[in-house]
Structure 1
Amino acid sequence: MQKTRIGKCWLALPLAVGLSACGDSGSANSTGTAGMTQSTDDPTVGTTASTVPTTTATATDPDTQGSDSIGETTTTSTTSPTTTISPTSTSTGPDPSTTTTTTTTATTTTEGTTGTTGTSTTGNPVMCEPGDGMGMGPIEKSFIWIPSQDLSDVAKVNTQTLVEVARYRTGPGGNSPSRTAVSADGRFVVVNNRETGNSSMFAANVEDCVDKNGNGMIDTSQNKNDVRPWMVDECLRWHIQWPFAGGFSNGPRGVTWTPGTWDYDLCKYVNPKVWLGYNAPGGVAHFVRIDGETGTIEETINVPNWNGQGYAPYGGALDPEFRPWFGGLRGEFLRINTDQNPITVTRWTAPFNIQSYGFTVDGDGNPWFAGCSGPVSTFDPDTEQYTSVPGTNACYRGITADKDHVWVASNSPCALAQIDRATKTLVANHNTNPCSTAIGLSVDAEDFVWLVDQEGWAWKIDPDNVAGMQQVMVPGSHYVYSDMTGGQLLSILPM
């Protein structure tokens, strides 16, 4: 699946998922550069991964849903929705250090198309298919959402004007927000707070915000200095507190949206979902499906004996079959097979020299790993073969893929690594000036690459003119490894 780029123009993007666009751009360890404030996410480097144990059966109970007095949906997930998993098969792939475990859930709903392919739900002739060019038009708004772990807020930056247009509290305080994930149409963002173990969803557009106090207007942040108190900003749509007994390592991290289901009558995707992962004491990883707009928890899949160095699932991404993938910190990674009914979960543990720190999935459905103390690597799910990129060996952090390249944030040296996706070869290590601790990477709706530095700024980068990158100051200490723009979803949609 390819996107066509003519200058800064994109063709054949569906209406609800990134419209066609034209515009102008204006030491090898996890602590990074000496003297900089660093996250304590991972105190160890170079830990050898072990084989994933076979899952054991477990069951969960219905959760409690609620709404608070000012109108936004608030969910306290003290228990999980009804879901049971049990092992069905274990097979060893071509690499002897790789184990694949498949587990099955008792209930599921699948995502795909509404009605029968080729027929609309009303019985009228089909006028559109995903990716056939329907609903094209110029992009109007595109944002990158950059969390500040020290300020407990998230910055909303217009990717075209480079202006921070709003800032939002992500929780009651001391939240350490880290991962942000944007919906395919750019309308919504989910922010995961590691320290307090909760997730918040904000609407990007005023028309999607809710007048909770009934004063006839939307009370929301107007600029970077206008940060409303927690639970007051009316662009906060929902908030979920996850059930675990505290602990920085257990809080939600890996997160991804699905576009939802293609509606043949509306010619767009509807009912987007959010998948995210968090831990609880006992080594069980929880993978949760949420209704993206309402915040209703629809299903929880429990995966026992999670191998992620004691941390919650570290990164999340979606493949072209709309199946969520999650990577563990220097441990296992898995795919949630939402295309199967009932849902199954397939688990792999990579060889010891391939470590997952940053994690993404490219347009071919292949996951990529940015190892902090090791190479950049990729995995072919069909052959179960790993490939490491020659000449890559550093503390790599965030990673993202576009149609031609894989981009990786490098520490020691501090740089932006550019990798040819097809040949799996290193193109260049690009220097940024200044460069403190390169952290997060994302690709926006116009295919510009964004590199977030932990120290308080970001870079907007034209892949055709990397040297002309533009610096954008964003106050705070940023620690993010996720789809901050929604570009990862756009890269895997039918074109």
Structure 2
Amino acid sequence: MRAYRLFPCLLGLVVAGCGDDNTSSASDTAQATSVTTPTSTTDTPTTTPTTSASATDTDSGTAGETQGQTNTTSTPTTSTTTTDPSSTTDPGTATAVDPSTSTTTTTSGTTSTTSTTGDPPNCMPGDTQGMGDIEKSFLWVANTDQGSISKVDTQGVVELARYRSGPSGGTESPSRTAVSVDGRFVVVNNRGTGRVTMIAANVDDCKDKNNNGMIETSQTKDDLLAWDADECVLWSSVLPFNGQIGGGPRGVTWTPGTWDMNLCQFVDPKVWVGYLPVQGGTAHMVRFDGMTGVAEETVTIPNWFIGDTSWGPYGAALDKNLDVWFTGLRGELFRLNTAQNPVTVDRWAPPFNLQFYGMTVDPDGDPWFGGNCGPVSTFDPVTQQFISVPGTEAGCYRGIGADKDGHVWAADNGTCGVVQIDHVTNTMIQFHTLNPCSTPVGVSVDDEGFVWIVDEWQGAWKIDPLNPVNKQFLPIANEHYTYSDMTGGQLKSVVIPM
């Protein structure tokens, strides 16, 4: 078993193919400032009701010395909580198993019979599919211009199916995808419409919406059903974003939920999604119930004034404490302290030469960032230092991912490939070229530990991190502006709550 990680260009430089979303950036001026005086403030967040509009639809490198740059400003901000029951789509019912009898259990619209002899099953993560010996593992690739998402079998390296991410075709403009810790569900964010959509990976979790005794769902890469016809699309919610492409939902991460030893599965997972609301100068991070799409809490981040502020929270990832880290585009670093009620926010402004693009969190709990433009960098939460990786200053990095072997992998548009970094020493190991290669964007690590690079115009590369010369290429049609935890591998680094 291995694991994974993700990254993105250089201050004041013009670099082709390195820009905001799927647009190129002719020149970028750093707006983040370096703060060297530590300041710690604690605010008591206020809780006020807000509205959350939701729709239920059927419709080659060398090692060098570590360079550290510090920023020790931590400013918790206020949080706002909202619960909107109208924002849910019924994904099916769930009936608990009676351990003393033979019981029929219905989950997400499918039925199975569980026989017991009086003692509840005692099953731990690792005993089930996707957590121990790998039976299935999927990569989810957003097809931005089509308004769809591809399901790729990471073991067979084949595209299995396609699903619409919303009813409006390419206008949906899907981008970030995030997979639940057990690999059963994926959420896709649509920047163009504000829509967040959840899809089941396995037919057993799909819902027979028309009650005809079968599941209608995509069977091949060319089998794209109508928006209201695919019964593996379980819920879809529309966020009240500001209507601009930059304000649509982007940064996204799941929480694992808790392990139920009787049901032998995770229950009550959550999904955090970031976007820009109508109110200027603020950003929102919304927590959804992962199974229903109900918006349970909205955290408001004030003073969204550093970086490219026409873009909302750009990337997000969970750490081993179940806190959510996210960034602004070429802006600040934020942490949601989810154990506090209401949730509080810490924020740090990076040094001027760090312009955040893609981000992830490694197994040690350290955030990592791709520079657009600028070096790959990391942040030490203990010392509150930003650290740049020597030798990466001239790159144009996008998505970034971390594996459990101690490596970070960053997609580079400048040289067209992926850079491999030692996340313990913060030094570059090697640069790996890709051919064919156009605009590598996304990086993720699958359940078996293989590194996946998604090229915006080509398809996807599968790389063996223990032998990077071993590569496989899968052509995928359409444009793929997608990066985030596309496989669910990032969550495998998280301590699972029991």
Counterpart amino acid of residue 285 in structure 1: A
CA contact (8 A) 1:277 1:287 kept: yes
Q: Which residue number in structure 1 is paired with residue 403 of structure 2?
A: 402
CA contact (8 A) 1:254 1:326 kept: yes
* 1:341-490 matched pairs, under 5 angstroms: 341-393=341-393, 394-403=395-404, 404-490=406-492
* 1:63-462 matched pairs, under 5 angstroms: 63=52, 67=56, 70=58, 97-105=71-79, 135=128, 137-171=132-166, 172-173=168-169, 174-263=171-260, 265-266=262-263, 268-281=265-278, 282-306=280-304, 307-309=306-308, 310-393=310-393, 394-403=395-404, 404-462=406-464
CA RMSD, Structure 1 to Structure 2 (Å): 3.1
Kindly, what percent of the aligned residue pairs are identical?
53
Match of 1:40 among 23, 28, 31: 23
Q: Bigger CA drift: 44-53 or 159-168?
A: 44-53
How far apart, in 2, do the equivalents of 1:50 and 1:60 lie?
33
Q: Which residue number in structure 1 is paired with residue 103 of structure 2?
A: none
Q: How many residues are treated as equivalent by the alignment?
A: 434
CA contact (8 A) 2:81 2:298 kept: no
Relative to structure 1, the CA distance from residue 31 to residue 218 in structure 2 (aligned partners, 3 Å threshold; closer, same or farther) is farther
Q: Deviations over 1:318-374 (max 9, x none)?
A: 000111111111111211111223321111111111221010001111100110121
* 1:21-40 matched pairs, under 5 angstroms: 32-33=16-17, 39-40=22-23
Highest relative contact order (Cα 8 Å, sep 6+), 1 or 2?
A: 2
Q: Deviations over 1:452-478 (max 9, x none)?
A: 111121100001221120000111111
Q: Whose strand proportion is higher, 1 or 2? A: 1
Q: Deviations over 1:407-426 (max 9, x none)?
A: 00001111210001111110
**Secondary structure of 2:470 counterpart:** strand
Counterpart amino acid of residue 449 in structure 2: D
How far apart, in 2, do the equivalents of 1:386 and 1:129 lie?
41
CA contact (8 A) 2:56 2:235 kept: no
Counterpart amino acid of residue 323 in structure 2: R
Q: Bigger CA drift: 374-383 or 338-347?
A: 338-347
Relative to structure 1, the CA distance from residue 328 to residue 43 in structure 2 (aligned partners, 3 Å threshold; closer, same or farther) is farther
Counterpart amino acid of residue 453 in structure 1: D
Flag structure 1 segments of 5+ consecutive residues without an equivalent. Answer: 11-26, 73-93, 110-121
How far apart, in 1, do the equivalents of 2:151 and 2:397 lie?
25
Q: Which residue number in structure 1 is paired with residue 108 of structure 2?
A: none
Relative to structure 1, the CA distance from residue 424 to residue 67 in structure 2 (aligned partners, 3 Å threshold; closer, same or farther) is closer
Deviation at residue 42 of structure 1 after TM alignment = 5.7
Counterpart amino acid of residue 259 in structure 1: P
CA contact (8 A) 1:51 1:99 kept: no
CA contact (8 A) 2:412 2:418 kept: yes
How far apart, in 1, do the equivalents of 2:324 and 2:123 lie?
22
Counterpart amino acid of residue 152 in structure 1: G
**Secondary structure of 1:465 counterpart:** coil
CA contact (8 A) 2:49 2:80 kept: no
How far apart, in 2, do the equivalents of 1:265 and 1:217 lie?
27
Relative to structure 1, the CA distance from residue 127 to residue 95 in structure 2 (aligned partners, 3 Å threshold; closer, same or farther) is farther
How far apart, in 1, do the equivalents of 2:488 and 2:180 lie?
6
Relative to structure 1, the CA distance from residue 67 to residue 430 in structure 2 (aligned partners, 3 Å threshold; closer, same or farther) is closer
Relative to structure 1, the CA distance from residue 400 to residue 59 in structure 2 (aligned partners, 3 Å threshold; closer, same or farther) is same
CA contact (8 A) 2:16 2:24 kept: no
Deviation at residue 60 of structure 1 after TM alignment = 3.6
How far apart, in 2, do the equivalents of 1:126 and 1:216 lie?
30
How far apart, in 2, do the equivalents of 1:197 and 1:106 lie?
20
